[in-house]
Chains A and B, each alone.
Chain A
Amino acid sequence: MLTKFGRWVTLASRGFSTTTSFQKGASEEGLKSLNLCSAINQALHIALDSDPRSYVFGEDVSFGGVFRCTNGLAEQFGKKRVFNTPLCEQGIVGFGIGLAAMGNRAIAEIQFADYIFPAFDQIVNEAAKFRYRSGNQFNCGGLTIRTPYGAVGHGGHYHSQSPEAFFCHVPGIKVVIPRSPRQAKGLLLSCIRDPNPIVFFEPKWLYRLAVEEVPEGDYMLPLSEAEIIRQGSDITLVGWGAQLSTMEQACLDAEKEGISCELIDLKTLIPWDKETVEASVKKTGRLLVSHEAPITGGFGAEISASIVERCFSRLEAPVARICGLDTPFPLVFEPFYMPTRNKIVDAIKSTVNY
């Protein structure tokens, strides 16, 4: 296993350390250094290879996708299983629902999470309710919607957003966000094979920046299970996706000042693993949640409220939220907007010293 920060820090500021735990079934021998994009590509490859009823489609998917995540798939599995769709998000998701409802694994790509909104009706009113409204006569559980989300340094309004909270308000779908290549591959395979429709947000900033030793074989990571990726005793930090790397750096800074931080990767936002967060906060007595999306109505608010309900008497300070500002995602002002390392470090300190 890699040392915790070995390769990442030298690669890029957004680099991220590997997981501390190894999943059962993954062979130590079959490890290969992969970036997040290639890990996604491997997962899709395995999904297509292991189930002839699986399909990968979306805008520009055929030639490999604008981020190259679907590179080589059409060549290997044919253009009938890996194909371009017209430029129409509601069409992509609607088509995917119909395909999934016929017993297929429909792996749809929405090119940017910023463009998922035309498909909102299909996701919220159709995919999410498909099983429930039919009394379990029909389901579209084979549907997985992959979509790149989040800041990337120069994306401005429409190539940077983190719209996960909208989808966390929708019973019937699952929302999953990986933090690293190994996580991305294992979680994506779980999502594809899970019998529920899932929106899988991919941290696009990490597509090439995050490199990690990834098992080459077929493995799955459990959904709705959070992971403590750093043990600590003074404060619990909860995040997901790309933000975890910023949070981890903040943990290191805090450590230098003698503060021991416990960092939790939520991985699945709904249905989320409250128990792991609750147990951690009961131990540390403090909670900080951080995400790139605007603070108001963000999923951090839900975590905060739930933990206050469950751990009120154990809390030694108010829950801190370090999130995006309540503005549209700005281009030039991105460094101001972002929930950066020092904003988090300051919040850790003020929470610990409350």
Chain B
Amino acid sequence: MASFLLGRSRILTHHKTLSVLAASSSSSYSSLFPPFSFSRHESTKAQAQLEFEHEDDRNQVIDFPGGKVGFTSEMKFISESVQKRIPCYRVLDDNGELVKYSSYVQVSKEMAVKMYSNMVTLQTMDNVLYEVQRQGRISFYLTSTGEEVVNIASAAALSPDDIILPQYREPGVLLWRGFPLQQFVHQCFGNTHDFGKGRQMPIHYGSNKLNYFTVSSPIATQLPQAVGAAYSLKMDGKSACAVTYCGDGSTSEGDFHAAMNFAAVMDAPVVFICRNNGWAISTPVEEQFRSDGIVVKGKAYGIWGIRVDGNDALAVYSAVHTAREIATREKRPVLIEALTYRVGHHSTSDDSTKYRPIDEIEYWKMERNSVNRFKRWVEGNGWWSDKDESELRSSVRKQLVEAIQVAEKAQKPPLEDLFNDVYDQIPSNLHEQETLLRKTIEKHPKDYPSDVPL
């Protein structure tokens, strides 16, 4: 932003000088600022001279703030993207077989089984709560279908001390950290047991105890906040990092740019995990950006990055595990682009068959199913059986059915929760408004829901 106190005149003058020099063909400046004269290319003599100048240029630099920059007499524009797209790191092939010579972080049997169990639990929770919404018993729901692996495998690779700043399609991270199914269900029902006191729509979970910041709906706002949280961890000398999630659509928000740039400049130990799932509600990635996805954006900000197959649990686990090591030890940000697919609708308010081909959804649901791929690997190791599977699924379903019954019967939060927590203490205007409202409720009790305790 401009400042009237710090004039820009000095810099403007400087630029003006540069452009004048560049435009002139004055020989004394030609090596520093070669003229844009294409006629030089017409003769071999000129070419030879140009090469000489190239040579000369290499030895000369502009000592610019931020570091020395070499010269070139070649007028070459940087193209918008490389011809070959950045490859995607994977460990497991589509059949759940280890890809030869792949480098990855070892996962123990215990860890692998826990990861797979959490994926199944997440799937089951999504299936059940989606149906509950369809029955009209909760107002809204949003599934992680298709992205179970990026949820669980990333969570598994982190330390419980790492601070999570989620978008909203990462309930698996919270599940991994031990948030009980009952608590998920309480939140969706907005009852008195919901930590958020019934103030936010379903799926806006949060847990201070589990270092998982409460979800907010605005896109990408958590990203610069994660940099601040990471800076705090660094200043406190903690061996932990901040981890923040976003989708492909988020990368178009100003907050994404702000966060990347701040993280780089502040040397903040933060891991950005972008779930590039192909769709931001109905907007496909080709209408979202023209870059080679998201990973290339990190480079421009001076951030390390990796593109990973988000449907490969071992690749996600390995990349996130390593990224958090880099962030925590070297105090620097890392960007992870996980290529995945939103197999479900954006939310229960969306019908994605209106804007994307069913074939595409089916392909990702069946052939590229991330959970099945990991299952094959776990089964291949002899760590998981069909019996385990059916027992787990029925157990989780049973827990959920019970949790729903409990949550449905629970009271709504009391009316006082409307007024507290706006500030640390209730100010006089809210006291007044509460008194007035209570009088109105007494007068017109039928205007208000009867299940909210007064």
Q: Which residues of chain A have a CB within 8 Å of any CB of chain B?
A: 59-60, 66-67, 80-81, 83, 85-91, 93-104, 106, 111-112, 114-115, 118, 121-122, 125-126, 129, 131-139, 141, 154-155, 158-159, 171-172, 174, 195-196, 224, 271-272, 274-275
Q: Chain A residues near B233 (CB, 8 Å)? A: 102
Q: Chain B residues near A275 (CB, 8 Å)? A: 428
Q: Chain B residues near A138 (CB, 8 Å)? A: 206, 208, 213-214
Q: Counting CB contacts under 8 A, is B228 at the interface?
A: yes
Report if A158-B2 is in contact (Cβ < 8 Å); known contacts: A94-B259, A99-B228. Answer: yes
Q: Chain A residues near B423 (CB, 8 Å)? A: 131, 172, 174, 196, 271
Q: Counting CB contacts under 8 A, is B261 at the interface?
A: yes
Cβ contact within 8 Å between A94 and B221: yes
Q: A98-B228, A138-B213 are in contact. List 12 more A-B contacts (CB 8 A).
A: A60-B6, A91-B258, A94-B223, A94-B227, A95-B231, A98-B231, A98-B232, A101-B228, A101-B229, A102-B236, A122-B255, A271-B429
30 pairs, A vs B, C-beta closer than 8 Å: A60-B6, A66-B3, A85-B262, A85-B265, A88-B257, A90-B224, A94-B259, A94-B262, A95-B224, A95-B262, A97-B228, A98-B228, A98-B230, A99-B229, A101-B225, A104-B232, A126-B225, A133-B204, A133-B206, A133-B214, A134-B206, A134-B208, A135-B194, A135-B197, A137-B208, A141-B424, A158-B2, A159-B3, A159-B4, A271-B429
Task: Kindly report which residue of chain B lies nearest to residue A125, judged by CB atoms.
Answer: B218
A180 to B416, CA, bound (A): 38
Least Cβ–Cβ distance between A26 and chain B, in angstroms: 25
User: 5 tightest CB-CB pairs across the interface, nearest first?
Assistant: A98-B228, A94-B224, A91-B258, A98-B225, A271-B427
A274 to B196, CA, bound (A): 31
Q: Chain B residues near A111 (CB, 8 Å)? A: 1, 3
Q: Counting CB contacts under 8 A, is B239 at the interface?
A: no
Report if A99-B1 is in contact (Cβ < 8 Å); known contacts: A126-B216, A126-B221, A133-B196. Answer: no
Cβ contact within 8 Å between B195 and A274: no
Cβ contact within 8 Å between B422 and A172: yes
Cβ contact within 8 Å between A80 and B235: yes
Q: Counting CB contacts under 8 A, is B226 at the interface?
A: yes
Least Cβ–Cβ distance between A40 and chain B, in angstroms: 16
A81 to B231, CA, bound (A): 10
Task: Kindly report which residue of chain A lies nearest to residue B4, judged by CB atoms.
Answer: A159
A97 to B204, CA, bound (A): 19
Q: Counting CB contacts under 8 A, is B5 at the interface?
A: yes
Cβ contact within 8 Å between B229 and A135: no
A154 to B204, CA, bound (A): 47
> Count of B residues near A, CB < 8 Å?
56
Q: Counting CB contacts under 8 A, is B254 at the interface?
A: yes
Least Cβ–Cβ distance between A170 and chain B, in angstroms: 10
Q: Chain B residues near A137 (CB, 8 Å)? A: 195-196, 206-208, 214
Interface residues of B in 61-111 (CB under 8 A from A): none
B197, B229, B422: which contacts A98 (Cβ < 8 A)? Answer: B229
Max chain A CB contacts within 10 Å: which of B2, B163, B228, B254? B228
Q: Chain B residues near A80 (CB, 8 Å)? A: 235
A118 to B428, CA, bound (A): 31
Q: Counting CB contacts under 8 A, is B439 at the interface?
A: no
A121 to B235, CA, bound (A): 27
B2, B225, B235: which contacts A94 (Cβ < 8 A)? Answer: B225
Interface residues of B in 368-422 (CB under 8 A from A): 417, 420-422
Q: Counting CB contacts under 8 A, is B31 at the interface?
A: no
A85 to B261, CA, bound (A): 10
Max chain B CB contacts within 10 Å: which of A67, A89, A104, A137? A137
Q: Counting CB contacts under 8 A, is B288 at the interface?
A: no
Q: Chain B residues near A60 (CB, 8 Å)? A: 3, 6
Q: Chain B residues near A196 (CB, 8 Å)? A: 423-424
Q: Chain A residues near B200 (CB, 8 Å)? A: 133
Q: Chain A residues near B430 (CB, 8 Å)? A: 271
Cβ contact within 8 Å between B229 and A102: yes
Q: Chain A residues near B197 (CB, 8 Å)? A: 135
Cβ contact within 8 Å between B214 and A95: no
A224 to B199, CA, bound (A): 26
Q: Counting CB contacts under 8 A, is B343 at the interface?
A: no
Cβ contact within 8 Å between A100 and B228: yes
B194, B261, B266: which contacts A88 (Cβ < 8 A)? Answer: B261
Q: Counting CB contacts under 8 A, is B165 at the interface?
A: yes
Least Cβ–Cβ distance between B408 and chain A, in angstroms: 20
Q: Counting CB contacts under 8 A, is B242 at the interface?
A: yes
Q: Chain A residues near B206 (CB, 8 Å)? A: 133-135, 137-138
